[in-house]
Amino acid sequence: MAVISPDIFSAAEFLKKGDLVGIPTETVYGLAGNALDGSAVAKIFEVKNRPSFDPLIMHISGIDQVENYASNFPEKLKKLAEEFWPGPLTLLLPKKEIVPDIVTSGLSRVALRVPAHPLTHSLLGLLDFPLAAPSANPFGYISPTRASHVSEQLGEKIPLILDGGPCTVGLESTIVGMEDGEVVIYRMGGLSIDAVEEVVGKVTVRTQSSSRPDAPGLLLSHYAPRVPFLVGNLYELIAEASKSKKDFAVLSLSRQFEEIDASRKYILSKDENLNEAAQNLFAAMRQLDSSGAEVILAEYMPEVGLGRAMNDRLRRAAAKG
């Protein structure tokens, strides 16, 4: 079983040997391996049971590392990096030959990010290679936001989980690239669209699902609990579930639903604070998935700020694979 520890030196030793380690970031916990070692990267796909056509994000220690792995760094994307790195921003850039094709699933662009979590930032400083690190969970399941989440699902498959406490953002990074001179958001995440547009102006949002995605995290069915997950008008969903005598759990932004047992409901933010709600989303989905309910009923968030990224996750969680 994996050791849970804040010891970055032990983590570095495992990674140098080609092993995988669970690492904390401000967004979610990642399953990390040496991104320049094809065998280590292959282990990531194997441990997660992740399809090889779904590319990975490479984590680097700073903006000065971009030139080592990307052949071009467009000015608008550089401005975003200067503004938001370290942070929940991933940039899609033309890759250099040093980046193994297994990392990018054979695509011509590599996804680069500088994580903001102090432990992982320090860990990267101990290494002479970047880390490929998708979320540290079985493929398609809810992303982990605590070390215990990683241990529950992957603890028997990796030697160490670096414990950095609960994730402060709770949603994966926002993925941004360029097409025909225009800035494109491929995945909504912990950095809001408004924040991106304040730096580079109007952007195109292109987050449609694909059986062979151009960026990580874009498959239709993703971030999903094991039990059926429905999203919509909670009052209508509850009425329908009650009518069919289904044992249900409820995920709401701030609605109380006093008649529902506390073990079968989760309020993301009593104050309707979307940052707090985003931080709690995946942990809430995990808790309700383990509640014994036959179905989880959820409502969409306001389509502002991080609410848009949360709704993207809710839609993918409810999608049928």
pTM score, whole prediction: 0.90
Q: Where are the domains of the chain?
A: 3-205, 229-318
CATH code for the part of the protein at 229-318: 3.40.50.11030
**E strands in the chain:** 3-5, 21-23, 30-34, 57-59, 89-94, 109-113, 131-132, 160-162, 174-179, 182-187, 204-205, 229-231, 248-252, 265-267, 295-298
Question: Which stretch of DSSP H or E encloses residue 1?
Answer: none
* Contact (Cβ atoms closer than 8 angstroms) between residue 132 and residue 44: yes
Helix, strand, coil proportions of the chain in percent (round to 5)? 35, 20, 45
Q: Which residues contact 138 (CB under 8 A, 6 or more apart)?
A: 48, 49, 153, 154
DSSP structure class, residue 167: -
| Top CATH class, 3-205 | alpha beta
Regions of the chain with pLDDT less than 50: 211-212, 321
- Dist CA 61 CA 64 (whole Å): 8
pLDDT at 51: 79
pLDDT at 213: 53
| Domain 3-205 identical in fold to domain 229-318 | no
Q: How far is CA 316 from the centre of its chain?
A: 13
Q: How far is CA 213 from the centre of its chain?
A: 15
pLDDT at 249: 97
Q: How far is CA 17 from the centre of its chain?
A: 26
Reduce the secondary structure of 12-33 to three states and give it as a string.
Answer: HHHHHCCCCEEECCCCCCEEEE
